[in-house]
Amino acid sequence: MEQKIENLPPAQTTVTAAPSQENIADMENNSFTLSCGSGCAATYTAEEISQDKTSVKVKFKVENYMNDKLEETNEETYLFYYSNTGEIDKIINEETQKNILDEYILNAQESFKEFAASLIKDKKVEIPQSKEQNNSANTKYRISALPFDHEDYYSTCYVKFDEKECANRYPRYSYPENKNILEEYGIKDTPTSFFMLPKINNLQPFILGYTDSDVEGYDLIVATKNKVISSLQIAEFDGETVNDFIITKNFEIELYTRKNTTEKRILKKKYKIQPDGKLKQAL
């Protein structure tokens, strides 16, 4: 734990003044527990939260247990860096200067990520957007390049769990942290997350993902400022069938079906996004 990481990339956003410490108890998720082996566990409880222009500093009380018996209590401090869309970029251990998103096991990473998300959800951290950021003409959104193949997306992001490749090829916006983007286009849906595709003229296609229920689904929405032009359910996974999609470089939407992921996909319908944003069935 002595090695230090040099030349860390700069933070991508700024944050506002520190929230008061007494509000920590109001957080929905102010503590979490990590497994560290057989009978070993460590519980992290946030005690202090402060902010500056580049990061959010959280001091944790860490209680180490062995076979449910408290063995040791100490303190650890971490620096949380967020992107301008509210997603966590890196989490640095202040003592070791290591990024836990690179160094820690996946289960530990996920626990820290969930805590980072709860800071925003519970308004303990606010990431302001300038007028330029709120103006879509001046905002550089992260766009998912076409073709967008759901099978490849799932393989890259969940089977291979290649986080870097996933972020590069399938940049995803979390909700409600980025609901202002959807509201700008008149979209009132409340997905778990969403993707932005390349524009067609002045029209913006979105893929909305609903992944927090037993039946997972995805919708395609084409919108312009404050107005939805068209929408279509393009995927559903209900435990009995797998219905997924490919959106080609020519904005053709190919809908596929099969009983499970081991079977070959069967093309069942095809649509194309028209220049006016409407969807026309081609098959």
pLDDT per residue as tens digits for the range 153-167 = 999 998 888 888 888
Same domain, yes or no: 142 and 102? no
For the ranges 18-27, 118-127, 158-167, the maximum mean pLDDT occurs at: 158-167
Do 174 and 259 fall into the same domain?
A: yes
Q: Which of 106, 80, 210, 197 is nearest to 148 (CA)?
A: 197
Answer with the one of 89, 121, 153 that is the final residue of a domain: 121
The pLDDT of residue 84 is 65
| pLDDT tens column, 252-274 | 999 999 998 889 999 999 999 99
∠ Cα 266 251 277 (to 5°):
120
For residue 7, tell me if it sits in a domain.
no
Lowest mean pLDDT across 10-14, 95-99, 213-217: 10-14
Q: Which of 92, 121, 150 is the C-terminal boundary of a domain?
A: 121
Has residue 173 been placed in a domain?
Answer: yes
Give the 3-state secondary structure of residue 133: helix
Distance, CA of 231 to CA of 275 (rounded, Å): 15
Q: Which two tokens stand for residue 107?
A: 């289960």
CB-based contacts of 88, cutoff 8 Å, min separation 6: 80, 81, 82, 101, 113, 116, 117
pLDDT tier for residue 130 given thresholds of 50, 70 and 90: very low
Burial of 201 (0-12, 13-18, 19+ CB in 10 A): exposed
Whether residue 6 lies inside any domain: the answer is: no
Position 85 scores a pLDDT of: 63
Task: Tell me, yes or no, whether 161 and 49 share the same domain.
Answer: no
**Which residue(s) pair with 108 in the sheet?**
none
Do 78 and 93 contact (CB within 8 A), yes or no?
yes
- The SS3 assignment for 197 reads coil
Kindly report the pTM of this predicted structure.
Answer: 0.54
For residue 220, give every residue at least 6 positions away whose Cβ sits within 8 Å of its Cβ, in sequence order, or none.
205, 206, 207, 208, 231, 232, 233, 234, 245, 247, 253, 279
SS3 254: strand
Considering the domain architecture, whether residues 108 and 142 belong to the same structural domain is answered as no
Same domain, 57 and 105: yes
Tell me, yes or no, whether 149 and 227 share the same domain. yes
Tell me: do 142 and 274 sit in the same domain.
yes
Q: What is the pLDDT of residue 13?
A: 38
Q: Domains in the chain: how many in total?
A: 2
The reply to whether 127 falls in a domain is no
- CA gap 195, 136 in Å, rounded: 15
Q: Quick one: pLDDT at residue 50? A: 86
For residue 128, being part of any structural domain is answered with no
30: in domain: yes
Give mean pLDDT, residues 178-184.
92
Task: Output the six-digit token pair for 178.
Answer: 């980025």
User: In the block, which residue shows the tokens 């997603």?
Assistant: 87
CB 280 within 8 A of CB 268: no
Backbone torsions φ then ψ of 170, nearest 5 degrees: -130, 65
**Do 86 and 32 fall into the same domain?**
yes
Report residue 29's pLDDT band, with 50, 70 and 90 as the boundaries. low
Same domain, 195 and 276: yes
Q: Looking at the domain assignment, is residue 203 inside a domain?
A: yes
pLDDT at 2 over 50: no
Residue 42 near residue 34 (C-beta atoms within 8 A): yes
Inter-residue contact 281 to 271 (CB < 8 Å): yes
Structure tokens belonging to residue 96: 């070791």
DSSP line for 40-51: EEEEEEEEEEEE
My answer on whether 45 and 100 are in the same domain is: yes
Calculate the alpha carbon distances from 136 to 47, 84, 130, 182, 206 in Å: 38, 14, 12, 11, 15
Return mean pLDDT, the chain: 82
Structural domain harbouring 76: 21-121
Residues 225 and 204: beta-carbon distance below 8 Å: no
Any domain includes 31 = yes
Higher local confidence (pLDDT), 97 or 8: 97
Q: Are residues 87 and 156 in the same domain?
A: no
What is the reported pLDDT for 236?
94
Identify whether the C-beta of residue 152 lies closer than 8 Å to the C-beta of residue 159.
no
Which of 91, 121, 151 delimits the end of a domain?
A: 121
Is the domain of 114 the same as that of 191? Answer: no
